[in-house]
């Protein structure tokens, strides 16, 4: 414990920590830093605590996360001594809660109000920051923490003539403390985001005329506000600690069971029933999570979006206004949805008018009104509800200069480069609370704030305990986290919408997904894991030495991570511990639970003669387009032991639809009943049979290729070699997805990726042992890479996956083919595992690779 603990030092100009901001983040920092015995100063540009709730005093300002959840958890007494009057409390009530906390915990003396931080400069020689304020103070500190808020810098309205207006001008995010009386006045409201939607009904209750200027309509759902319901209070009363703890491990920071129902898998009646139940709850996370796939699947989202539009149409009487208020240009949830009280109903009032800025743009604001479209309307007041420069605005509005004169503004000119949303390279000892790259605005911010403040304070304590005085992320860790964030954005519907989540509301701001989409739970796990793995991705130095444990915390694709995580929690027995029959049963049972893949034109089952004359089943997948079609003879995966002609069906259907080629998927004989070379020879027999019957099957003679995944890739590669060597079918191409190409050698990826990525090294050994004796593995029919020559093989596409034990042998085959003069397309799927690209409808990040595979197939036949 340090002697200065608890000492109030509002005038000290050299402290351990300077904090900018005294909203909920800054206040919790006061608590934690003081408790940990650090000297610190909090500088706040406003005149009191509360941040958001100090500034946003517009009529109707409320939280939109149920207030019982939007509260601190660190002081259990608060839950007992503070009673919220409503499900969604008003701004004054939340502000008084913040003031109550600050008074109760004697925080005021630590905070210097009306003091804006204007710049901060790092000095490498002293290893300290100098923080300067607009009031002329310069404070040196070891650590500088920005708790400056994600929605604290109102966006300047980019409308011509704003300076001309002589009437009342109000910005929702900077509302006058004395309030505004609009009685009898003509009011223009510009903007229909959350603040507009909350304030318009109340402004319309007073004003004689309200004109709302709307650029993009917003999805808004009724809050059904009122007293806090008994069922909301019950879990808190029953076991408050368990409830608060469970919030930390949810996606959004509010305990709600995640939906396990696809919007596409239920009847219209069931869908409607589930929607109405979600709607009635009047909670954002409920309506955002009615169906498990509404945020990732456009079709599922469209169904929900349409049901919300129906509600709007049912409320707004004028059909033209109703249509204008219906969001149609983006999926529900990809812009911040709103909660409202009487918003849509307000447009039924005769003195409320909606102007669509897309058809009637504002040409200029005049001294007494607004000129838009071909009319000018006079107003007494203009309310700008034009939103915020979100997430990065408050941070880059301070001139922050790190090591070697690097400024944060410059470093972030193409988007915020950061690690965990907490720190940024070249800016040692600089922390952000709920910064870009963390769940932040997509969560119940109270939960996210507490997690960040705890992480930062615990880290400072760790450093102090270990004689370390400087911390900075590594380049590798930062690049890895930024890539991980972008990969999440890639598989969400959000990336295509112009929202403030994407920085799209501020002209010139880089278009990057700002919050982290992996959820409060996923994010917390990553942060905890970083610490457990010795501050992975951070370099820390000081008198106590230097620690740098470089690395990337999340390297597999986000959806692959989620699947791996689910599987590890299921504790499944390793397949190699089963009998071959058991493994087949197990694999069939899990296959039955998959999404089926897209509809194809036709599926036909049949048999063809195998190499020993016995019948082999096949399933033909015909595209819906007019035939005849080029033909791909396809061999399934399963280590020569498991699987069948239908086991890869979702992917085969997907490739059939994408490529426009007909697929004939063949069930070759399996080991150990039929060991090497049965599968290889059946593959070639099937290929020749299909080629011989191509016209009857509906294919185009001469347009034939082979394809296969894993062991099926091995069968396909061998079939292509046998066709070349035996004057067989002239193939247009071969597509090999994560193929087995060489059983003679242990490539590094076999051990590097041999554990934890579904296909393990020991499972691969089991497959080989079932299929082929060691002496046979060097035969090119078992290991196509061992062929005397690879010259003369058809154009080849090889797909390898970064975390596949078979990656290196796939790479080696691609390289050897290229060296032999074969035209090779090598798709290297970063962040993928052996199985992930085949998981249609489950692993969305595999889709772009399947699209490239389909493009290759089209190329074979072009």
Ligand X SMILES: Cc1cc2nc3c(=O)[nH]c(=O)nc-3n(C[C@H](O)[C@H](O)[C@H](O)COP(=O)(O)OP(=O)(O)OC[C@H]3O[C@@H](n4cnc5c(N)ncnc54)[C@H](O)[C@@H]3O)c2cc1C
- Pick the closer one to ligand X by CB: 68 or 770: 68
Closest approach, Cβ 91 to ligand X, in A, equals 8
* 25 binds ligand X, rule: CB under 6 A: yes
Which one of residues 17, 30, 33, 63 is an interface residue with ligand X (CB under 6 A)?
A: 63
Which one of residues 16, 36, 64, 428 is an interface residue with ligand X (CB under 6 A)?
A: 64
Closest approach, Cβ 102 to ligand X, in A, equals 12
- Pick the closer one to ligand X by CB: 452 or 703: 452
3-state helix, strand, coil in the chain (%, to 5): 40, 20, 45
- Pick the closer one to ligand X by CB: 65 or 735: 65
Which pair of structure tokens corresponds to residue 92? 């004054």
Closest approach, Cβ 762 to ligand X, in A, equals 46
- Pick the closer one to ligand X by CB: 398 or 477: 398
692-723: buried (b, 16+ CB within 10 Å) or exposed (e) per residue? eebeebbbbeebbbbbbbbbbbbbbbbbbbbb
Please identify, among the stretches 5-13, 58-66, 566-574, 639-647, the one whose residues bind ligand X according to the rule CB under 6 A. Answer: 58-66
Which one of residues 16, 17, 18, 24 is an interface residue with ligand X (CB under 6 A)?
A: 24
Closest approach, Cβ 353 to ligand X, in A, equals 25
Please identify, among the stretches 46-54, 509-517, 634-642, 698-706, the one whose residues bind ligand X according to the rule CB under 6 A. Answer: 46-54
**Cα separation, 31 vs 43, whole angstroms:** 15
**Cα separation, 806 vs 740, whole angstroms:** 7
* 445 binds ligand X, rule: CB under 6 A: yes
**Cα separation, 293 vs 264, whole angstroms:** 8
Closest approach, Cβ 785 to ligand X, in A, equals 56
**Contact track, ligand X, 115-154, x by CB under 6 A:** -xx-----------------------------xxxxxx--
* 841 binds ligand X, rule: CB under 6 A: no
Please identify, among the stretches 42-50, 325-333, 611-619, 804-812, the one whose residues bind ligand X according to the rule CB under 6 A. Answer: 42-50
The burial of 162, by beta-carbon neighbours within 10 Å (0-12 exposed, 13-18 middle, 19 or more buried), is given as middle
Closest approach, Cβ 114 to ligand X, in A, equals 9
**Cα separation, 511 vs 504, whole angstroms:** 6
Angle subtended by helix axes 475-490 and 558-570, to nearest 10:
90
* 438 binds ligand X, rule: CB under 6 A: no
556-584: buried (b, 16+ CB within 10 Å) or exposed (e) per residue? bbbbbbbbbeeeeeeeeeebbebebeebb
Which one of residues 65, 385, 652, 827 is an interface residue with ligand X (CB under 6 A)?
A: 65
- Pick the closer one to ligand X by CB: 58 or 344: 58
Q: Within 579-608, which residues bind ligand X (CB under 6 A)?
A: none
Q: Which residues contact 246 (CB under 8 A, 6 or more apart)?
A: 255
**Cα separation, 355 vs 362, whole angstroms:** 10
* 54 binds ligand X, rule: CB under 6 A: yes
The burial of 364, by beta-carbon neighbours within 10 Å (0-12 exposed, 13-18 middle, 19 or more buried), is given as middle
Name the nearest CA neighbour of 379 among 366, 365, 363, 368.
368
**Cα separation, 366 vs 311, whole angstroms:** 37
Closest approach, Cβ 117 to ligand X, in A, equals 4
672 upstream amide cis, omega within 30 of 0: yes
Which one of residues 391, 433, 608, 652 is an interface residue with ligand X (CB under 6 A)?
A: 433
DSSP 78: H
Which one of residues 15, 17, 18, 20 is an interface residue with ligand X (CB under 6 A)?
A: 20
Which pair of structure tokens corresponds to residue 791? 């010259």
**Cα separation, 225 vs 207, whole angstroms:** 23
* 430 binds ligand X, rule: CB under 6 A: no
* 432 binds ligand X, rule: CB under 6 A: no
Angle subtended by helix axes 445-465 and 240-248, to nearest 10:
80
How many residues touch ligand X under the rule CB under 6 A: the total is: 36
DSSP 608: E
Closest approach, Cβ 180 to ligand X, in A, equals 16
Beta-bridged to residue 616, according to DSSP, are 608
Please identify, among the stretches 47-55, 536-544, 600-608, 642-650, the one whose residues bind ligand X according to the rule CB under 6 A. Answer: 47-55
* 423 binds ligand X, rule: CB under 6 A: no
Angle subtended by helix axes 445-465 and 519-532, to nearest 10:
0
* 60 binds ligand X, rule: CB under 6 A: no
Q: Within 191-210, which residues bind ligand X (CB under 6 A)?
A: 195
- Pick the closer one to ligand X by CB: 65 or 664: 65
Q: Within 386-405, which residues bind ligand X (CB under 6 A)?
A: 394, 398
Closest approach, Cβ 649 to ligand X, in A, equals 44
Residue entry with tokens 């042998």: 809
CB 442 within 8 A of CB 517: yes
* 516 binds ligand X, rule: CB under 6 A: no
Name the nearest CA neighbour of 588 among 633, 679, 651, 649.
649
- Pick the closer one to ligand X by CB: 61 or 526: 61
Which one of residues 18, 33, 61, 141 is an interface residue with ligand X (CB under 6 A)?
A: 61
The gap from C-alpha 835 to its chain's centroid, in whole angstroms, comes to 21
SS3 647: coil
SS3 428: coil
Count CA atoms closer than 13 A to 763's CA, side-chain side: 25
Residue entry with tokens 């929202």: 499
* 90 binds ligand X, rule: CB under 6 A: no
- Pick the closer one to ligand X by CB: 247 or 854: 247
Which one of residues 39, 56, 459, 710 is an interface residue with ligand X (CB under 6 A)?
A: 56
- Pick the closer one to ligand X by CB: 25 or 835: 25
**Contact track, ligand X, 68-87, x by CB under 6 A:** --x-----------------
DSSP string covering 7-51, please?
---TT-SEEEEEEE--SHHHHHHHHHHHHHT--EEEE-SSSSS-T
Beta-bridged to residue 129, according to DSSP, are 122, 141
Q: Which residues contact 527 (CB under 8 A, 6 or more apart)?
A: 420, 422, 451, 455
**Contact track, ligand X, 448-487, x by CB under 6 A:** -x--------------------------------------
* 217 binds ligand X, rule: CB under 6 A: no
Closest approach, Cβ 191 to ligand X, in A, equals 12
Please identify, among the stretches 14-22, 696-704, 758-766, 795-803, the one whose residues bind ligand X according to the rule CB under 6 A. Answer: 14-22
* 21 binds ligand X, rule: CB under 6 A: yes
Please identify, among the stretches 21-29, 413-421, 505-513, 737-745, the one whose residues bind ligand X according to the rule CB under 6 A. Answer: 21-29
**Contact track, ligand X, 351-390, x by CB under 6 A:** ----------------------------------------
Closest approach, Cβ 54 to ligand X, in A, equals 6
CB 253 within 8 A of CB 520: yes
- Pick the closer one to ligand X by CB: 397 or 828: 397
- Pick the closer one to ligand X by CB: 308 or 449: 449
- Pick the closer one to ligand X by CB: 52 or 856: 52
Chain residues in the site for ligand X (CB under 6 A)? 20-26, 43-46, 51-52, 54, 56, 61, 63-65, 70, 116-117, 147-152, 195, 394, 398, 433-434, 444-445, 449
């Amino acid at each position: 414990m340090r002697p200065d603990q608890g000492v109030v030092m509002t005038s000290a100009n050299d402290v351990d920590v300077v904090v900018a901001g005294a909203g909920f983040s800054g206040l919790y920092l006061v608590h934690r830093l003081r408790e940990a015995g650090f000297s610190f100063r909090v500088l706040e540009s406003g005149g009191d605590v509360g941040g958001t709730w100090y500034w946003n005093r517009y009529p109707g300002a409320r939280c939109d996360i149920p207030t019982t959840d939007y509260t601190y958890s660190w002081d259990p007494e608060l839950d007992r001594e503070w009673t919220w009057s409503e499900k969604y409390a008003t701004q004054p009530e939340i502000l008084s809660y913040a003031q109550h906390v600050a008074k109760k915990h004697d925080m005021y003396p630590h905070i210097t109000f009306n003091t804006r931080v204007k710049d901060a400069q790092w000095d490498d020689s002293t290893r300290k920051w100098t923080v300067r304020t607009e009031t002329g103070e310069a404070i040196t500190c070891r650590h500088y923490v920005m708790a400056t808020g994600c929605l604290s810098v109102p966006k300047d309205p980019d409308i011509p003539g704003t300076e001309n207006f002589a009437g009342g001008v109000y910005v929702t995010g900077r509302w006058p403390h004395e309030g505004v009386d609009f009685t009898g006045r003509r009011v223009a409201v510009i903007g229909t985001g959350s603040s507009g939607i909350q304030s318009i009904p109340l402004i319309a209750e007073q004003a004689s005329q309200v004109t709302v200027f709307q650029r993009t309509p917003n999805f808004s759902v009724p809050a059904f506000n009122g007293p806090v319901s008994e069922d909301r209070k019950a879990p808190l009363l029953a076991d408050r600690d368990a409830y608060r703890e469970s919030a930390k491990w949810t996606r959004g920071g509010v305990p709600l069971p995640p939906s396990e129902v696809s919007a596409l898998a239920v009847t219209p009646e069931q869908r409607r029933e589930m929607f109405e139940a979600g709607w009635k709850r009047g909670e954002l996370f409920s309506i955002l999570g009615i169906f498990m796939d509404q945020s990732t699947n456009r079709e599922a989202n469209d169904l929900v979006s349409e049901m919300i539009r129906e509600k709007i149409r049912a409320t707004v009487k004028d059909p033209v206004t109703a249509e204008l208020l219906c969001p149609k240009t983006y999926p529900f949830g990809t812009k911040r949805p709103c909660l409202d009280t009487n918003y849509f109903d307000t447009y039924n009032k005769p003195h409320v008018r909606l102007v669509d800025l897309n058809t009637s743009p504002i040409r200029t604001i005049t001294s007494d009104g607004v000129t838009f479209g071909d009319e000018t309307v006079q107003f007494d007041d203009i309310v700008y509800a034009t939103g915020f420069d979100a997430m990065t605005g408050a941070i880059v509005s301070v001139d922050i200069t790190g090591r070697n004169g690097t400024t944060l503004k410059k470093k972030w000119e193409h988007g915020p480069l950061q690690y965990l949303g907490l720190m940024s390279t070249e800016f040692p000892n600089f922390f952000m609370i709920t910064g870009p790259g963390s769940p932040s605005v997509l969560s119940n911010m109270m939960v996210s704030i507490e997690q960040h403040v705890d992480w930062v304070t615990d880290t400072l304590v760790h450093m102090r305990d270990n004689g370390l005085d400087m911390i900075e992320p590594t380049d590798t860790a930062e690049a890895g986290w930024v890539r991980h964030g972008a990969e999440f954005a890639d598989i969400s519907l959000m990336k295509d919408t112009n929202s403030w989540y994407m920085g799209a509301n501020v002209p010139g701001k880089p278009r990057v997904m700002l919050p982290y989409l992996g959820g409060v739970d996923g994010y917390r796990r990553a942060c905890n894991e970083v610490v457990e793995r010795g501050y992975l991705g951070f370099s820390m130095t000081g008198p106590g030495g230097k620690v740098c444990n470089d690395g990337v915390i999340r390297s597999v694709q986000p959806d692959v991570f989620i699947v791996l995580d689910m599987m590890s929690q299921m504790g499944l027995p390793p397949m190699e511990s089963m009998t071959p029959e058991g493994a087949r049963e197990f694999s069939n049972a899990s296959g039955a639970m998959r999404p089926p893949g897209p509809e194809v034109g036709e599926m036909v089952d049949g048999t063809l003669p195998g190499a020993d004359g016995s019948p082999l089943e096949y399933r033909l997948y015909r595209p819906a387009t007019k035939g005849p079609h080029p033909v791909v003879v396809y061999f399934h995966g399963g280590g020569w032991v498991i699987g069948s002609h239908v086991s890869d069906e979702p992917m085969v259907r997907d490739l059939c639809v994408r490529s426009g080629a007909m697929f004939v998927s063949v069930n070759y004989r399996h080991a150990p009943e039929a060991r090497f070379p049965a599968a290889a020879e059946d593959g070639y027999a099937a290929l020749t049979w299909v080629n011989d019957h191509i016209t009857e099957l509906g294919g185009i003679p001469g347009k034939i290729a082979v394809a296969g995944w894993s062991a099926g890739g091995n069968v396909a590669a061998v079939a292509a070699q046998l066709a070349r060597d035996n004057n067989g079918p002239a193939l247009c191409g071969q597509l090999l997805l994560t193929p087995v190409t060489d059983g003679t050698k242990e490539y590094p990826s076999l051990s590097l990726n041999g554990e934890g990525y579904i296909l393990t090294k020991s499972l691969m050994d089991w497959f080989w042992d079932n299929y082929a004796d060691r002496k046979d593995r060097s035969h090119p029919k078992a290991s196509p890479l061992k062929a005397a020559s690879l010259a003369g093989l058809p154009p080849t596409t090889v797909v390898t996956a970064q975390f596949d034990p078979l990656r290196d042998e796939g790479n080696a085959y691609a390289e050897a083919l290229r060296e032999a003069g074969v035209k090779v397309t090598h798709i290297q799927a970063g962040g993928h595992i052996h199985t992930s690209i085949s998981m249609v409808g489950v692993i969305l990040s595999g889709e772009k690779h399947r699209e490239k595979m389909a493009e290759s197939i089209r190329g074979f036949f072009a």
